[in-house]
Amino acid sequence: MVSSGELVLNVKDFGAKGDGVTDDTAAIQAAIYALGYAGGVLYFPKGIYLISDTLNVGNGTASAVSTQNAITLQGAGAANTGAAVYDGGFGTMIRYIGSTEKPMIHVRGPINAPRILDISLDGNMMASIGVRATNALGFKYRPCAIRDTTQIGILMDSWPSMTVSGTKNNMSCDIADGWINLGNSPYAVCIKLSGDIDGGDTNMSRLHNLHLLYSGTNGRALLLGFCDSNLFDTINCYRQGADNGSAYSVIFDGTEQVGYPAQNTFINFSATSDDVAVYGTIGDNIFYNYQTGDGGAVPDHPNLRGVTQDGHHFGSFDFANLKSSNDLETTGSGNGLIVKTPDGTKRYRIYVSNAGALSAQLL
């Protein structure tokens, strides 16, 4: 979408070829800078644009806000699948060919309203990160389409030791309607949300309708660190290859900042067989309609609570006015109602036995 009066530039007018042969890094970067302080739309016609270095969107640092804002990189359509080799037949792709591992695109804040629309990113097993958004307010990437980066698909973080005052968090961001395919990248993370005590955390953002493919060798679909109050809506996490024992659909990492991640909400979340891991001390996070049909294990941590698709609760809940046997319909092989000490230790279980009787068990 182009607003009335908005500046629109064509990347090919700056010498970019999009032919899958020419290194277009310098031409694309020059076009981004040409948008000026008020921003605008940089249009990429259909093609494969090769880059050998990071494309910087905005010029913010830990000590200065970006003098460019409202920059939109607009393609002619992103791929709708993480499979197959891109042949230029369905839109715009940016492919990394650099000799050293670097992010493909770095959104450098503090910056307002940067957007990437209808563009696929191919890390080519050379780029470290697809998109790094640092202190980006209102960042949007739709439809999300990233493959074959070596470390992270999307990293949302903040500058360390930041001295800029005012609003500076990654906040009100929107990542939606697509996929990240890092199934060939051991140890890689599809999406990481993080922050810094000075630069602020990642919060109040929405990740929606995403298919995240990660490696069975220490891969992760989501890694949540210093972040809070984000919405994860309709997220499917799928592992490629056998699990080596250290692949996780989600890691809640409380070692970045004690008490975080916190207050994140997951709706219609599904994963294939891998556990959810918790490191350090985290805050409360909740799941609604947690899907177990794909084999994903139900989280087992007092600060991860929710309800599965078939109505079973997990985590620590305070049930007021527990009245009917329907609230304890779990059979003897299930959890039932678990009573825990403040440190999370399981002490007592009340459940309906396989024979139909109400039973209690000291754990």
pLDDT at site 83 = 44
Q: How confident is the model at residue 123 (pLDDT cuts 50, 70, 90)?
A: very high
- Spatial CA neighbour of 83 closest among 151, 129, 145, 19: 145
Q: Which phi and psi angles does 316 have, rounded to 5°?
A: -90, 115
Is the pLDDT higher at 56 or at 316? Answer: 56
Which residue did the predictor score with more confidence, 235 or 85?
235
Per-residue pLDDT band at 80 (split at 50, 70, 90): low
Q: Is-contact 238 273, C-beta < 8 A?
A: no
> Which tens digits make up the pLDDT trace of 277-311?
999 999 999 999 999 887 778 898 999 999 999 88
Please provide the average confidence, as pLDDT, over all residues in the chain.
88
Give the range among 51-65, 77-91, 226-240 with minimum mean pLDDT: 77-91
The answer on pLDDT for 327 being more than 50 is no
Decide if pLDDT at 82 tops 50: no
User: Which of the residue ranges 22-31, 91-100, 265-274 would you say has the lowest mean pLDDT?
Assistant: 265-274
Residue 334, pLDDT score: 55
Q: What is the mean pLDDT of residues 130-154?
A: 97
72-97 average pLDDT score: 75
Cβ neighbours, 10 Å, residue 295: 12
Q: What is the C-alpha separation between 164 and 168, in angstroms, rounded? A: 8
User: Quick one: average pLDDT of 351-359?
Assistant: 70
What DSSP line would sit under 192-205, residue for residue? EE--BTTTB-EES-
Tell me how far apart the 2 most distant CA atoms of the chain are, in Å.
77
238: β partners: 213
Residue 135 · residue 162 · CB < 8 Å: yes
What's residue 323's pLDDT?
45
Q: Answer with the residue of higher pLDDT: 333 or 187.
A: 187
What's the pLDDT tens digit per position in 193-217?
999 888 889 999 999 999 999 999 9
Confidence of residue 349 (pLDDT cuts 50, 70, 90): confident
Please report the pLDDT score of residue 84 as a whole number: 39
Which structural domains are found in the chain, ordered by start? 8-317 (2.160.20), 318-362 (no CATH)
Q: What is the pLDDT confidence band of residue 115, given thresholds at 50, 70 and 90?
A: very high
Instruction: Kindly state the average pLDDT of the residues 317-344.
Output: 57
In the predicted structure, residue 128 carries a pLDDT above the cut 70: yes
Q: Quote the tokens at residue 5.
A: 């009066």
Question: Mind listing the pLDDT tens digit for each residue in 235-254?
Answer: 999 999 888 888 999 999 99
